[in-house]
Structure 1
Amino acid sequence: MRETEVYDVLIIGTGPAGLQAGIHAARKKIRVILFGHPQASALYRAHLENLCFVSGKRDGQELLSIGLEQVRHFGATVVEEDVVKTAQEGDLFMVETESGRKFYGLSLIFATGVSRKGLGLKKEKELIGRGVSYCVDCDANFYRGARVAVVGNESAAAFGALTLLKYASKVYLIAKDLKVAPELEKELRESQVELLLGRWIKEIRGAERLEGVILDDGHPLELDGLFIELGAKGAMELAATLGVMLDPEKFTYIVTNKRQETNIDGIYAAGDICGPPLQVAKALGEGCIAGLEASSYAIKKRKALFNS
């Protein structure tokens, strides 16, 4: 691969931590690229009034817009797509976006925030691990030859349904308003996934185990497994494939040191994905550190690999 095709810093996440990391890394005059939909950030629909130097009650969407303008001003590239796959290929890290594009870099920062959204339905929580799951990559193997459904409107659900085709005998995708890249939608429509579009789940059925669901049009669906994948591909799944260490108790957060380094050389994390307190001020501070550390790592790595 030519040197010009390799980015110095790949950043997954365009919320406060990702944008701050991008600003500090890009100011080093290196190649920086960020991935993610800013509107998916928890800040997007929030208001902020407890951040030092920011007066009054400020709209989160406005602040994110300013951050995006800043990170671009300093030379970073922003790709407003979800990342659906990560890998380490030799000395480089690879991320693949929902449109199928692949990008390579010398360092990688996870700044995705945390969210494990549920449907908020009765029996949902009590059937977790007994037919209800929030992670296709984690649990697909348990549903070989089974009838399963994935519910969600975005890339996590779409890729989850396609992945399950390798295991399950029947796969449904339930989506009220499918919002994925055209290439991904085309792949879905040409696959064996049965699309139940314009519909949602209103009831989960089962006592000791999941038995099925009732859709909002009253249609019953018998199932062995239900995967709730609301939003983008989860950071835990993306990080776990690279061998990044998660907290040993709940496997909810990425473990880092004070330099925002993970257990894998060249991989950093910042913001809510590193654990509480889930505050913008913390995310900005960790983003700053991660951006500086990742850029320093990448500069040394580029010299070693390309003698430049």
Structure 2
Amino acid sequence: MAERIQCDVAVLGTGPAGLQAAIHAARRKADVLVLGKIVKSSAYQTHVENYCCIDGTTGEALLEEGRRQAERMGARFLDEDAVSIRKTHPGFEITTEGGSIVSCKAVVLAMGISRKTLKVPGEKEFLGRGVSYCVECDAHFFKDKVVAVVGCESAAVSGALTLLFYAREVHLVCRKLLVAENLAERLRETPVVLHEGRWVEAIEGTTEVESLLLDDGTRLPVQGVFIELGAKGAVELAAELGVALDPETMEYVSVNRRQETNVAGIYAAGDICGPPWQIAKAVGEGCVAGLEAAAYAKKPAKETS
């Protein structure tokens, strides 16, 4: 059920970086809320064997214990993805897929990065020529055009809703909607054309995207395809706030040694800060981010404005 929630520090992500940030921020007596779904963490399905002091375990066991530790420290959990974030005075306001509004003084971005692709013909060939992985980054290129979003989770649905402000016609292709009912209802109340129970076989065109071939043989004429196969990603949320990305790749959030971004009150940790993709790195960065975010949230308002 949608609600308004106040906290000192909001941690976006339930992987090793996010859980460690929550543990340390809560230990510093900050009121911590963690957003996300542990089962969606890239570490959840892994076997852990090269992490110091742990002689073999599963990612699932490690993350579940991390959640219990964070809860023992006082952190709260909301098993919903963030779909938007905006600056307020003196902090930030986050909207979740279920419609809840979270007001906080500091944010830790620890959602990992999306490395999921469709792996269909035409996807690589038309990247940058109609194929995109970031609605917030590229929506304005498709003004008054027909576009499709491919995906089943919050990133896909929120992307489709955003594209309604730009495109002439928006399609959403998904096997099954996997979002909170509030978000699903919002989608169904809009002009987005939902192709549920369908998937993409190929992306077609000559020099640019011209159509999608669906698995039932349908050809859907489109000029743009947004591939959004997970939760709303760090890069997209960071773009809404003006958080600087790594200038060489534009794939990772730039931070200093205190895990601070260029936006005061916004910290980042884990895979979204770049390789190596290791739990040890994520935990270390999460520790620093949690401590720094808690300290920032405890400052008087005049020092953070």
What TM-score, normalized by structure 1, do the two folds share? 0.94
Deviation at 1:5, TM superposition (A): 6.1
CA 1:31–1:302: 2 relative to 1, 3 Å: farther
Q: Which residue of 2 aligns with 1:232?
A: 231
- Between stretches 69-78 and 139-148, larger displacement belongs to 139-148
1:200 aligns with 2:199: yes
Q: SS in structure 1 opposite 2:107?
A: strand
Deviation at 1:121, TM superposition (A): 1.0
User: Deviations along 1:237-266, whole A, 9 cap, x unmatched?
Assistant: 111221211111111111111111111221
Deviation at 1:293, TM superposition (A): 1.0
Q: Which residue of 2 aligns with 1:94?
A: 93
Q: SS in structure 2 opposite 1:241?
A: helix
Question: Which ranges in structure 1 are unaligned for 5 or more consecutive residues?
Answer: none
Deviation at 1:128, TM superposition (A): 0.9
Q: Which amino acid aligns with 2:298?
A: I
Q: SS in structure 2 opposite 1:300?
A: coil
Aligned residues: 301
RMSD over equivalenced CA pairs, Å? 1.5
User: Deviations along 1:99-120, whole A, 9 cap, x unmatched?
Assistant: 1111111111111111142100
1:138 aligns with 2:128: no
Note if contact 1:6-1:106 (Cα within 8 Å) is conserved in structure 2. no
Question: Which ranges in structure 2 are unaligned for 5 or more consecutive residues?
Answer: none
Structure 2 distance, partners of 1:279, 1:114, is 13
Structure 2 distance, partners of 1:39, 1:95, is 21
Q: Which amino acid aligns with 2:155?
A: A
Q: Which residue of 2 aligns with 1:35?
A: 35
Structure 1 distance, partners of 2:10, 2:241, is 14
Q: SS in structure 2 opposite 1:126?
A: coil
What TM-score, normalized by structure 2, do the two folds share? 0.95
Within a 5 Å distance, the mapping from 1:129-208 to structure 2 comes to: 129-208=128-207
Question: Percent same amino acid at aligned positions?
Answer: 52
Q: SS in structure 1 opposite 2:299?
A: helix
Q: Which residue of 2 aligns with 1:25?
A: 25
Q: Which residue of 2 aligns with 1:269?
A: 268
Q: SS in structure 2 opposite 1:125?
A: coil
Aligned structure 1 segments of 4 or more residues deviating by more than 2 angstroms: 301-305
Q: SS in structure 2 opposite 1:195?
A: strand
Q: Which residue of 2 aligns with 1:213?
A: 212
